[in-house]
Amino acid sequence: MARMYSGARGKSGSTKPSKKVVPGWLKYKPKEIELLIVKYAKEGKNPSQIGVYLRDEYGIPDVKVVTGKNISQILKEKNLLKEIPEDLMALIRRAVLLRKHMDENKKDMSAKRGLILTESKIKRFTKYYKRTAKLPLEWKYDPKKIKLVVE
């Protein structure tokens, strides 16, 4: 399937382990993994960054297979999950940087188009997250106010 605005095909990426069983060589118990997740969350890491750390440094291929919960669920139980989901926050950061770039380079039309596309993605994400109750219903994307949240 092509990407929404460019016609390019999808990017290759890492693949999940084919079997949904706990590997025999894994030496960590579910409680130890939860403690590692909490430790990294307190250091300010996002759930996706925590997953990469656990995979690369500790050899834990899939947290959900071992613990029965994904990283976001564990963080939500411990009240460490941030108010704004990380994918929405990444888009907001990109929009803030594009606005800053547009202030310096007013005639950059490709950046203007990128800003329009990014903000439309932000609006779609906010509708979805309000519908699934991951964002409060009164939350609103305002480019001037959100700049303070990002910085």
Tell me the domain boundaries of the chain. 30-77, 86-150
43 pLDDT higher than 70? yes
Question: What letter does residue 12 receive in the DSSP assignment?
Answer: P
5 pLDDT higher than 90? no
What is residue 93's predicted lDDT score, i.e. its pLDDT? 94
- In the chain, how many H helices and how many E strands? 7, 0
Q: Cα dist. 13→19, 62, 100, 143, 148 in Å? A: 18, 16, 30, 32, 33
Q: Which amino acid is at 5?
A: Y
Q: Identify the three-state secondary structure at position 108.
A: coil
pLDDT in tens, 75-125: 999 999 888 999 999 999 999 999 999 999 999 999 999 999 999 999 999
Distance CA 140, CA 127 (A): 10
CB 96 within 8 A of CB 106: no
Distance CA 146, CA 143 (A): 5
1 pLDDT higher than 70? no
What is residue 29's predicted lDDT score, i.e. its pLDDT? 93
- Whats the size of the chain, residue-wise? 151
User: Cα 43 to the chain's mean position, in Å?
Assistant: 16
CATH fold group of domain 86-150: Helix Hairpins (1.10.287)
